[in-house]
Amino acid sequence: MSQDKNLLYQPAWRFIDESITARSRSALESFAMDDTLCQLVGQQKSVPVVRTWVHNRTIVLGIQDHRMPFIGQAIEEIERKGYQAIVRNSGGLAVVLDEGVLNISLLFTEQKSSIDIPVGYEAMVSFVKLLFPELGEQIEAYEIVGSYCPGSYDLSVAGKKFAGISQRRLRQGVAVQVYLCIEGSGAERAERIRDVYETGLQGQPTKFSYPVIQPEVMASLSEVLGTPLTVNEVIIRLQLLLRSLTDDVRQDGLTDEELELYGFYLRRVVERNQKMLS
């Protein structure tokens, strides 16, 4: 079995579902949660974790987005349209979060053996293919030019991107994160990000080359499948998938000690975000 598939077959998985509870909270809390779990799993104080999370109307900006010449105007425009703007603590560019977008984080430890960056990405690609067996090998991983937050691990079917994968490493922990556009219109989300770049750049030349968004290259899984699919249905699929990967699935919240660590990471993420946006 390949190393990426091997990563999925763990003796035990811990499942933390925040697909409903996180919706009304800031996405900064999710970044703090992943950092917390990254340390806990990395230091083997927790078994590997699968965490699901959904946030209401948020535009998550990358570090480079934050350097746009008219970023202040872009953020005002984001907020005027009823979205919250935050800056993420890991690589990548702007993405849209809303109630139709499901985020999944897989968290592993490197204590016993290191996990190469491509292996982490491939593990998530395998996971997504297992989640959607009706698409299976139709799901391809390569950069979709014209999409928002483009990268070599964009996931698409017939050239329509529905997901993107990122990675974060901390204290011997590896967090591999995917955003899956499940419901609604992929093109409409892309238009939101196109507006952000139009307002933030206003035709000014910049050292960094920002993506030129073509909304038609983005789709939701509902659109790709040609049949409505909900975030809740995918959560049920995910629970069944976990049970096929291990006999030991643990569904528990954070302990008091883990909550203390989460408080530390949350303060760090919030302070950093305030500095970026001030």
Nearest CA among 36, 18, 29 for reference residue 262: 36
Identify whether the C-beta of residue 190 lies closer than 8 Å to the C-beta of residue 220: no
CA 144 from centroid of its chain's CA atoms: 17
Question: Would residue 181 show up in a list of annotated catalytic residues for this protein?
Answer: no
Which residues lie below 8 Å from residue 131, measured CB to CB, with a gap of 6+? 234, 237, 238, 241
Q: How many CB atoms lie within 10 A of CB 253?
A: 9
Identify whether the C-beta of residue 31 lies closer than 8 Å to the C-beta of residue 91: no
CA 41 from centroid of its chain's CA atoms: 18
Which residues lie below 8 Å from residue 143, measured CB to CB, with a gap of 6+? 150, 151, 152, 154
Identify whether the C-beta of residue 34 lies closer than 8 Å to the C-beta of residue 107: yes
Q: What is the DSSP string of 127-194?
A: HHHHH-TTTGGG-EES--TTSSS--TTEEEETTEEEEEEEEEEETTEEEEEEEEE-SS-HHHHHHHHH
**φ, ψ for residue 190, nearest 5 deg:** -60, -35
Question: Which entry of 47, 74, 149, 163 is annotated as an active-site residue?
Answer: 149
Q: Which residues of 195-209 are buried (b: 16+ CB within 10 A; e: fewer)?
A: bbbebbbeeeeeeee
Task: Supply the residues annotated as catalytic.
Answer: 149
